[in-house]
């Protein structure tokens, strides 16, 4: 008899739990709101490289190292340009299953918010180095300046839409169930760097033509609300 009562109690508990689970998802709506702004891309990023090919890998490495060291020393004369070296590679080039020669390659990354200065320095460096890419992005400083305002605007848009959904569905009020602001407050989704057209410098170290353009920053708010008729 005691066992029968215990089983009955479990069944009642399970039924009550199932009913509670159903009510937890009753009249719930998930949606997204967003705030955006178009800003000028103020950070220029250039990648240059030094490369040599030949039969003596050690000689080639010495030449490439010297080229990179000269470039770094030249760039460091300008405090408004940040410089760092990238990947260094030495690999064989085969000819009919034997090593015919070697190739040594190293890249250099420059970034600056001074486009005129960077263009001038790039023109000078191209007497020895090859300009692989010239990219543009919004600087972290400018992102931080806009992030707070965009977050507030996105939350206000979310709240406004919540009121509109509540009224459109004939309900009286809503309660916030969950909300996520763009993955923990980072504020800006990663965006690929925008590669613009560029004019390679001639042998007389002519300045590089730069065109920064704009980029759209955004903050998204995803959330869920529960609607009530009273």
- CA atoms of 72 and 41, how far apart (whole Å): 25
- For residue 124, is it within any domain? yes
- CA atoms of 86 and 111, how far apart (whole Å): 13
Residues 6+ apart with CB under 8 A from 168: none
What's the pLDDT at 63?
94
What's the pLDDT at 210?
58
Q: For the chain, how long is the longest CA-to-CA vector?
A: 102
pLDDT in tens, 29-66: 999 999 999 998 889 999 999 999 998 989 999 999 99
What's the pLDDT at 223?
95
Residues 6+ apart with CB under 8 A from 134: 44, 45, 46, 122, 195, 196, 198, 208, 210
Nearest to 51 by CA among 101, 4, 116: 101
- CA atoms of 110 and 106, how far apart (whole Å): 14
Query: Within the chain, which residues score under 50 in pLDDT?
Result: 1-22, 183-205
Whether residue 44 contacts residue 91, with contact meaning beta carbons closer than 8 Å, is answered with no
- For residue 19, is it within any domain? no
CATH number of the domain enclosing 60: 3.30.70.360
- For residue 20, is it within any domain? no
Q: How far apart are the first and last CA of the chain?
A: 45
Residues 212 and 124 in one domain: no
- CA atoms of 230 and 174, how far apart (whole Å): 10
Residues 95 and 107 in one domain: yes
- CA atoms of 152 and 54, how far apart (whole Å): 59
- CA atoms of 175 and 31, how far apart (whole Å): 14
Residues 152 and 173 in one domain: yes
Which 8-state DSSP code applies to residue 102? E
pTM of the model: 0.61
What's the pLDDT at 115?
86
Residues 170 and 221 in one domain: yes
Which 8-state DSSP code applies to residue 200? P
Residues 145 and 230 in one domain: yes
Mean of the per-residue pLDDT values of the chain: 80
Number of residues that make up the chain:
230
CATH number of the domain enclosing 190: 3.30.110
- Burial of 174 from C-beta contacts in 10 A (0-12 / 13-18 / 19+): buried
pLDDT in tens, 105-120: 999 999 999 988 998 9
Domain boundary among 80, 112, 137: 137
What's the Cα-to-Cα distance from 62 to each of 48, 59, 74, 116, 138, rounded to whole Å? Answer: 18, 5, 18, 32, 37
């Amino acid at each position: 008899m005691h066992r029968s009562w215990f089983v009955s109690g479990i069944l009642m508990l399970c039924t009550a739990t199932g009913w509670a689970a159903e009510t937890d998802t009753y009249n719930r709506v998930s949606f997204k709101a967003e705030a955006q702004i178009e800003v000028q891309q103020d950070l220029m990023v250039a990648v240059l490289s030094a490369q040599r090919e030949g039969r003596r890998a050690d000689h080639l490495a010495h030449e490439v190292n010297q080229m990179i060291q000269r470039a770094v020393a030249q760039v460091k004369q300008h405090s408004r340009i940040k410089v760092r070296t990238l990947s260094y590679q030495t690999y064989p080039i085969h000819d009919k299953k034997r090593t015919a020669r070697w190739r040594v390659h190293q890249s250099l990354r420059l970034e600056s918010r001074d486009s005129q200065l960077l263009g001038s320095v790039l023109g000078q460096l191209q007497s020895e180095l090859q300009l692989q890419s010239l990219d543009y992005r919004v600087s972290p400083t400018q992102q931080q300046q806009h992030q707070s305002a965009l977050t507030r605007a996105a939350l206000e848009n979310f709240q406004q839409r919540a009121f509109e959904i509540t009224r459109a569905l004939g309900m009286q009020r809503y309660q916030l169930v969950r909300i996520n602001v763009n993955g923990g407050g980072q504020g800006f989704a990663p965006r690929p760097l925008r590669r613009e057209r560029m004019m390679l410098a001639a042998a007389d170290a002519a300045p590089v033509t730069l065109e920064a353009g704009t980029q759209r920053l955004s903050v998204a708010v995803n959330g869920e609300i529960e609607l009530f008729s009273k």
